[in-house]
Amino acid sequence: PHGDIAIYGTMVRMAQPWSMRYPLVDGQGNFGSRGDDGPAAMRYTEARLTPLAMEMVRDIRENTVDFQPNYDGRTTEPV
């Protein structure tokens, strides 16, 4: 309901090594700087999960996380 701006901002932060001790996103492109330079527009960047992030979600389908129906009941999401 709020668009993808909040998601992109969160992804940018997870790719910045000065924002997180262990970045969870491996970013390709301009993800900003420690100064006042903001990240590039979403269309100019690419991202993938880091090995640490992949390890964190490795067992998500092994019933280690409880799931509930999503807003319309067509799929499930973590509680």
Q: Return per-residue pLDDT of the chain as tens, 79 residues.
A: 567 778 998 999 999 999 999 999 999 999 999 988 889 999 999 999 999 999 998 888 888 888 999 999 999 998 8
CATH architecture under which domain 5-78 falls: Alpha-Beta Complex (3.90)
Catalytic residue among 8, 22, 44, 71: 44
| pLDDT for the residue 50 | 97
- Assess whether 8 carries a catalytic annotation: no
Q: Which residue has the tokens 């992804």?
A: 11
Instruction: Decide: pTM greater than 0.75.
Output: no
Site of tokens 């901002």:
9
- Which letter does DSSP use for residue 70 in this model? -
With contact defined as beta carbons under 8 Å apart, do 25 and 32 qualify? no
